[in-house]
Chains A and B, each alone.
Chain A
Amino acid sequence: MRTPRAAYPVTWRVMDMLERLAAAVWPSSFQRGLPYLMLLPAIVLVGLLVLGLVQIGDTSLRVLDTSTFLMSEDYTLANYQRVLTENFFATVAGRSLMGSLIVTAITLLFAFPYAYLMVRTPSSALRKFLLVALFLPFFIGQVVRAYGWLIILGNQGMVNEALGLVGVPPMRLLYNYPAVLFGLVQYMLPFAVLMLAPALTAIPNELEAAAASLGAGWVRTFRYVVLPLSRPGLVGAGLVVVTLSLTDFAIPAILGGGTQDFIANAIYDQFFRTSDQGLGATLSLMLVAVGSILVGVVFMLFGAGTLAMGETRK
């Protein structure tokens, strides 16, 4: 006697079929390879980046022949020699590095109380306001934000107009190094807060309460409880801010008035203004190297912070 169809629905049959198909394509003996298969897209992506770096490395070893505007066939270290010996590149590299460190320090200083208040406030309305204020800039591109500062800080901008009301003559607030750093801090603040917030959330309220119950004031609690426990967040946020600042292009270009180039601006000039792809590639590689060394030093000194994910944190 045949089994009635209703006893084994069609959907089950389909599922059986799919299971058999999956078993044929990916036998159970392959199960241990599943995590690696899931890693494949990331490996392909990183592989493409590495291929790109290899290509850039190759280009960096060739010089531009300005009689044909083709790269040389022979390999040479001439571009590296130029980058290491010409004052201009040293100035730009120093400005970028120093700028990224200053921006990181100031950003963390501002981001910490913001993130702390956002995480700890009992007021849901205040938390929402802080979140909205944090995310709003993400909807506005970096370039638009920089142009916004041109309107606010320009000679005829809101700030100078306000100063004019109290008799202060217009002053140049833009197109200098502090203006670039200011723009970068404003741009980086949301990144830092977003990196710090999870680390601060992970600090139990009870620990602060316990410290207070043992007689510690707010400052001591902050110094000996909150700050050490938030170090992973500070390190993670610091790494993100320092690398993004170091490689930034738009803010130095717009708020620097053409006189405050960072390394990315110099790279753009070589690739697109003078068509010297070899020198541009060399600068790119050196930027990658400086950024990697900087991150490596931070890893060695402070660990990877929140970027270490599940790994035991120092």
Chain B
Amino acid sequence: MSHDKLSSMQIRRRTLLASMAAAGASAGLSTLGVSRAFAQEPEKPAEIIVRAWGGSWVDALKAGVSDSFTKATGIAVRHDLTEDNEIQPKVWAAVAQKRVPPIHVNWDTTTNATKSALRGVTEDLSDLPNLKDTTELAKPVGLDGYPIVNTYGYVYVLAYRPSAFPNGAPKSWKDLLDPKLKGRIALYNDGIGFHFPAQVAGGGKLEDIPGNMQPAWDFISKIKEQQPLLGEDPDFTTWFQKGEIDAACTISTNAREAKKNGIELAWVVPEEGAKFDTDGLWIPKGLPENELYWAKQYINHALTREAQQVWLDGLGLPGVVPGLTPPADLVDDPSYPVTEEAFEHLIRISSKVQVENESQWFAKFKEIMQG
């Protein structure tokens, strides 16, 4: 399993580098004229509904993908801001009861989306024309075909307040054990993003995941003594802004957004590495044929270089289409990996392994933190 994981990482890196080299060639491609993607166009719905995360996340999606899709097709895009884990049971129930699902496209974490794919509620997206222009990152690891299309990657960085680290940026996750940080650090409330680097920081090996994660639990037990706050994405921004914390394991996008809002903040990928994961788009089964067609067109459009560039400029994340230009503030930033060297410190575990073990990992993390 670990071998597969490493192989996939190497393949992806190679593909990514090759794709970067081919950037010039792909730069000349058209934006996939959505209306020209398929030979015949079925009836257009008045709107399609895309589930999205709120705040800067939906703003970026709207600017990069939805607005240009509407311009090209005339189909309005409504963004449903129901939380990803709350829309999931609604979609599952709709498919099980053979009802029309409440959304056309789900913008989801790959881990969450993989659960839906394993359950068989996702449409196959293998026929999207623009997939041929994407890097290996677009393909979900451990699944057949394309029940999900990954659209970008992200890193769970160690974000910190520079004034709290007068001797320089933290180099290791172990720096969070500094007594002066007691009560001043934060993690996600299920430990997501922290399990794998904790495995390394605790003296274990990534190859032992999921078989032996005792080093991770040992390290997390030490972190617990630091009385960390546990929350969700918006909490980290609030806590940094309100002076409640000095360091956190969080997605780089949140840290960047907080910094944009004037919060003194920087981030690093510590020496043990940081979790690299992906988000993607998928379509639930049960849509009328014409709506399914236009939902696929939406995802196809999201894979164009133009849409990716604007969307991911907003998120500050590396996409799955070659030739994208990093935002000026993220050039050579470890949270925006584009080189093989940058990927060496990032940890990527297959979504299948994650979803099969996630429940136990969350429970164990909570048991430690809530005990």
The residues of A with any CB-CB pair to B shorter than 8 Å are 64, 66-70, 86-88, 91-92, 95, 150, 154-157, 170, 172, 174-175, 257-261, 266, 269, 271-277
- Give the number of chain B interface residues (Cβ < 8 Å): 35
Contact B183 A88 (CB under 8 A): no
Minimum C-beta distance from A230 to chain B (A): 38
**Inter-chain contact total with CB atoms closer than 8 Å:** 89
Contact across chains for A69 and B243 when beta carbons are under 8 A apart = no
Are A257 and B362 neighbours in the complex by a CB distance under 8 Å?
no
Q: Which of A68, A172, A274 contacts B358 (CB 8 A)?
A: A274
The reply to whether A269 and B190 form a contact with Cβ atoms under 8 Å apart is yes
Instruction: Check B359 against A257 for contact (C-beta < 8 Å).
Output: no
Closest Cβ of chain A: how far from B351's Cβ, in Å? 12
Q: Which residues of A contact B119 (CB under 8 A)?
A: 68-70
Q: Distance in Å from the Cβ of A86 to the closest Cβ of chain B?
A: 7
User: Nearest A residue to B245 by beta-carbon distance?
Assistant: A155
The answer to whether A275 and B243 touch (CB under 8 A), given A66-B355, A86-B363, is: no
Smallest distance from the beta carbon of A255 to chain B beta carbons, Å? 12
Is the CB of B118 closer than 8 A to any CB of chain A? yes
Q: How far is the CB of A220 from chain B (nearest CB, A)?
A: 47
- Seen from chain B, the residues whose Cβ lies within 8 Å of a Cβ on chain A are 83, 85-86, 88-89, 115-116, 118-120, 183, 189-190, 227-231, 235, 238, 242-244, 355-359, 362-363, 366-367, 369-371
Q: Most chain-A Cβ atoms within 10 A of its Cβ — which of B355, B357, B363?
A: B363
One of B83, B357, B370 near A92 (C-beta < 8 A):
B370
Distance of A269 Cα from B230 Cα, bound (Å): 14
A276 touches B359 (CB 8 A): yes
Asked if A154 and B370 make an inter-chain contact with CB atoms under 8 angstroms apart, the answer reads: no
With CB as the reference atom, state the residue of chain B lying closest to A154.
B242
Q: Are B89 and A258 neighbours in the complex by a CB distance under 8 Å?
A: no
Give the complex CA separation of A73 and B166 in angstroms.
58
Complex Cα distance A269/B359, Å?
Answer: 10
State in angstroms the CA–CA spacing of A257 and B115 once bound together. 28
CA distance A146 to B357 in the complex (A): 34
Given contact pairs A66-B356, A67-B356, A257-B230, A275 touches B89 in the complex (Cβ within 8 A):
yes
Complex-state Cα separation, A86 to B360, whole angstroms:
11
